[in-house]
Homo-oligomer: A and B are copies of this chain.
Amino acid sequence: MPGEGHNSAGEELRSLVERVERLNEEKQGIADDIKYIFLEAKSRGWDAKVMRKIIAARKVDVDTRQEERALIETYASALGMDYV
């Protein structure tokens, strides 16, 4: 452990731990906000499961996906595989 013999070692650790805990709380708060939005959407008749799929799909940048496909297809064609 760092700072052996210095009484400030515990303070440093405490500070690091508390910073993480504070951020974890913020993160949880945001997760709660998201959950609330899905509840709201559901109450308006939308399907949360499909919404999640859309959000996941949008997360993958189109260009990145196309680049990946080009790379994959180069090799896939060598296998004669049916990659749609």
Name A residues whose Cβ lies closer than 8 Å to a Cβ of B.
1-3, 9-10, 12-14, 16-17, 19-21, 23-24, 26-27, 30-31, 33-34, 37-38, 40-41, 44-47, 50-51, 53-55, 57-59, 62, 65-66, 68-69, 71-72, 74-76, 78-84
Dominant SS among interface residues on chain A: helix
Contact check: which of B2, B31, B38 meets A27 at CB < 8 Å?
Answer: B31
Contact check: which of B12, B41, B68, B80 meets A53 at CB < 8 Å?
Answer: B68
Residues in B neighbouring A75, C-beta threshold 8 A: 1, 13, 47, 50-51, 53-54
Asked if A20 meets B84 with Cβ closer than 8 Å, knowing A1-B75, A50-B72, A78-B9, the reply is no
Whether B54 pairs with A79 at a CB distance below 8 angstroms is yes
- How far is it, in angstroms, between the C-alpha of A16 and the C-alpha of B72 when the chains are bound? 15
